[in-house]
Amino acid sequence: MEDNLFGQDWEIEPAGGETGKAFVAVHEDEKFFLKRNSSPFLAALSVENIVPKLIWTRRVENGDVITAQKWIDNGRTLTASEMREPRVARMIGKIHRSEALRDMLQRIEKKDYACMNLLTKVLEDKSLPDQKEDLVLHAKNYLLANVEQLKEGRHVVCHGDLNHNNWLVSEQDELYLVDWDGAMLADPANDLGVLLYQYIPYSEWRSWLEEYGQELTIELYMRVKWFSVCQVLMAMNWQLEHGRKPELARLELILKKILEDDEVYGTLCE
């Protein structure tokens, strides 16, 4: 993004990130977070105080739509251990239960992913078996073997990537969830699964989910495990396509953990 899109009195620098669509801008001693062609869904999230306040939206000469959000001074991302905090669970619960957000996303994006759509997407991708054949085959067989028994939950607004780096804390300890480009309507287990396996010890699943607003049942556990396998396989495909071997190796370990998990199930069956 060039400074002259807004005028010479703007100072604009890349904000980092993988898409190259985010920028930091300073204008008349005010600082903003700018993003190119962000989802219109951002406005609804701003109203709900889920993302930093949306200041304005502007279409520039080349046709791009630029959004400007309040810059969070001295903000930081959550650590992995902080994902266990009740406020994280409560924020996700608020998002998943919001009918206003659900209706808005349905009108804007029309991204609705049933389990069979996700399964088809995973099975059609042929890039991973050449790299991790035994593990990926095991994962795909698990998905096929359990999809018919899956009692899919009502579709809600899902963020799609609840990595701890997508959580922002302000100097005043306000919590925000950012990077909504992958938002979709789906079973809430799409969001819950990888988060639980990646950040929450098995012994804390029940109490964490109570803060979220859901009882841990065998039915929920089966959905969490199934959608986790789906999400990790898709993430592995993406990392492979972008040549990110360290991240691919990390996801492989998470996938093994999910497939080998019987501790939660055993506890529920007691």
Between CA 75 and CA 251 the distance in angstroms is 27
Check: CB of residue 220 under 8 Å from CB of residue 193. Answer: no
User: What is the layout of strands, in order, in the sheet containing 76-77?
Assistant: 76-77, 167-169, 175-177
Check: CB of residue 34 under 8 Å from CB of residue 23. Answer: yes
First-to-last CA distance in the chain? 58
Q: Hey, what are 202's tokens?
A: 């098995």
Choosing from 9, 112, 161, 262, which is the catalytic residue? Answer: 161
Residue 3: active-site member: no
Between CA 204 and CA 12 the distance in angstroms is 44
Between CA 51 and CA 71 the distance in angstroms is 11
Integer Rg of the chain from CA:
20
Between CA 129 and CA 133 the distance in angstroms is 4
Between CA 105 and CA 157 the distance in angstroms is 7
C-alpha pair distances (Å), 233 with each of 139, 181, 229, 246, 254 = 8, 19, 6, 15, 10
Active site residues: 161
